[in-house]
Amino acid sequence: MQKPSDMDRSERKRQYAALRRAIIKEASPELVAKFSLASDKERFSMLKAWVQNQDLGEIEIEEKYRSWVANLRTDRYVTVTMLQLEKIYGKSTEAKKFIEELCRGQTGVPHPQAPNVKKARMFKVLREVLEENSSGSQTTSSASISGRVKEAAAKGLLSKQLGGLNTDVAFFNTTTGVIKSKKAKKEKTPEEECLADMKKLQKKFFDVHQRYHVIFLLWSRGSGIDAPLLRDYFL
């Protein structure tokens, strides 16, 4: 068999599923990226290499997929000033405690243009998944949220900030921090499927500090926000 059409579609789909399971078990982010983002022709070549050799190590991983994963890891963090954090989360008692959690263990880096301004010191925090939906020229947007909020301060702040989003939230338990969205599931793009598989591997190739924090919501800045899918991962 030289091309995808040489194999029955249903059988090809079954073999792809088996290959995907093997790749996830192998815990190789680069292989996950290639399998999810490759064309059907490239994916079929991966399948042939795996079937013939029974070894995922025989599958060539091009540099573009290695770079994709490297960029993904780098983009997990965003650098913000204390002033920006206060603008995003507010200055309430709950917000203050939450910001302290985000910056715990960091001394902050002086802002290059305002090194003597204490609140301009820059801190690294994890991004979080935020799906921004803009309608026409309106500046309204809605956030689809799901996950678990761990910090007690974060739970209190989220409970307040969810005020205008309650129509999109099916369940929020202020005790456990569990959040579920009402939004119906939509078919995933290849990139989204790849990111979903990456999440299954996060404990294997992300450090403890990255896994510790769960940032539940980044503020909405209105319409026209360009949020690349790569930077939306986890976020």
For 26-85, what is each residue's pLDDT tens digit?
Answer: 656 777 777 777 777 887 887 877 777 666 666 767 676 676 666 655 555 677 889 988
Question: Between 133 and 219, where is the model more confident?
Answer: 219
Whole-model pTM? 0.33
Predicted local distance difference test score (pLDDT) of residue 230: 36
C-alpha span between 183 and 154 (Å, rounded): 23
Predicted local distance difference test score (pLDDT) of residue 44: 82
Q: Where are the domains of the chain?
A: 4-72, 75-232
Question: Between 149 and 55, where is the model more confident?
Answer: 55
For 176-210, what is each residue's pLDDT tens digit?
Answer: 544 444 455 666 666 566 666 656 655 454 444 44
Instruction: Give CA angle at 216 (214, 217), nearest 5°.
Output: 140
Strand, helix or coil at 86?
A: helix
Task: List Cα–Cα distances, 107 to 26, 102, 177, in angstroms.
Answer: 38, 12, 28
The continuous run of DSSP H or E covering 81 comes out as strand 77-81
